[in-house]
Structure 1
């Protein structure tokens, strides 16, 4: 009986997902055919369907992989000083926003989530993981006195997420907008929102 090499299997899945992500970003999810994905990945259709039964399965896998990356990212951020972790998070968001292919893919996934309940469920799960991780980071910062302890960390995480969503939408709408030039503004916007009230003494 033929055995499956798990590392090779994961690598092939990853290569297919990367090829599909490029196609979805360039052509859109619905205008991308399985033939397009096969051509980009350099595989046959039979090989593609061995790893993924449908385009929907690929986009769900992309969402799930990003959720895993968020967990790993925030594990590292929470080892830093709270404000340093928040600052690093904002820098990473700005880096992602500067990648227009990534932004197009993110918005394409959001659009598909509005049409497909299965994709919507996985996107909601991933967003919940991100919101929960950001909430915990903000709670750490509040406990240390680095940010306003009167802020509800969960609500603050939602609003920071809304800023991120707005940033990505601005990139998609304005070809002249350069996120890499907006770092100081984004940091000021978020940090002023989170700043302790005047006269507050850190514990």
Structure 2
């Protein structure tokens, strides 16, 4: 029996996910066939099934990976000295991702599939809970350091930030004139005023 090379296996698996991301974003999840994913990655259908049994598991793995990447990013944010600034930098990244047509289209495809497939909905829901938990932890620590409004209910504040993230992607989908890359300054003012300690809120300006 041939021994599997873990590094080669992981690389091929990642290549499938990368190709599937592009295909799902451009054509839609249900409009993309496994044959098209195979063609994009340069792999036979029989070989593909050594890595994923079906398309549902491919999109599920994409959801899992996005959750892992978000968790890793929040680990780096938590190590920052200024957590208020760290959160605003995170939201800058959200705007950059929303401006990426492929990323934004894929996010909407995943959301749509979560509405149809309970298994995908569970994975998306887990990512959402973990995101809100990470936001809540970041905000609570920021408040403890005097960098965020300690009078806020941190769970509610985290939910509102998560809702803002969802809204950015929804706005991109319905409003062709909305350009996320043009919204950094306004986002920083609005979110900064919402999160700043009350004594500092009146001093927040564009670029804060």
Paired residues of 1:100 and 1:171 also in contact (CA < 8 A):
no
Q: TM-score, normalised by structure 1?
A: 0.95
Match of 2:145 in 1: 144
Match of 1:182 in 2: 183
Do the aligned partners of residues 156 and 44 (structure 1) sit closer, same or farther apart at CA in structure 2, a change above 3 Å counting?
Answer: same
Do the aligned partners of residues 137 and 199 (structure 1) sit closer, same or farther apart at CA in structure 2, a change above 3 Å counting?
Answer: closer
Q: Secondary structure at the match of 2:168?
A: helix
Report the Cα distance in structure 2 between the residues aligned to 1:36 and 1:65, rounded to whole angstroms.
Answer: 21
Q: How big is the alpha-carbon RMSD for the aligned residues of Structure 1 and Structure 2?
A: 1.3
What's the CA shift string for 1:162-189, capped at 9, x where partnerless?
1111111111122222111110111111
What's the CA shift string for 1:23-51, capped at 9, x where partnerless?
11011111111111111111110011110
Q: Secondary structure at the match of 1:30?
A: coil
Match of 2:162 in 1: 161
Kindly indicate whether residue 123 of structure 2 is the aligned counterpart of residue 126 of structure 1.
no
Q: Secondary structure at the match of 1:51?
A: coil
Do the aligned partners of residues 199 and 7 (structure 1) sit closer, same or farther apart at CA in structure 2, a change above 3 Å counting?
Answer: closer
Q: TM-score, normalised by structure 2?
A: 0.93
What's the CA shift string for 1:121-178, capped at 9, x where partnerless?
0001111111111111111111111111011111111101111111111111222221
Match of 1:74 in 2: 74
What's the CA shift string for 1:43-81, capped at 9, x where partnerless?
110011110000000000000001111111011001112
Match of 1:195 in 2: 196
* 1:84, distance to aligned residue in structure 2 (A): 2.2
* 1:197, distance to aligned residue in structure 2 (A): 2.1
Report the Cα distance in structure 1 between the residues aligned to 2:5 and 2:86, rounded to whole angstroms.
Answer: 37
* 1:199, distance to aligned residue in structure 2 (A): 8.0
Q: Secondary structure at the match of 2:25?
A: helix
Match of 1:42 in 2: 42
Match of 1:33 in 2: 33
* 1:196, distance to aligned residue in structure 2 (A): 1.9
Q: Which runs of 5+ in 1 are unaligned?
A: none
Report the Cα distance in structure 2 between the residues aligned to 1:192 and 1:48, rounded to whole angstroms.
Answer: 50
* 1:193, distance to aligned residue in structure 2 (A): 1.1
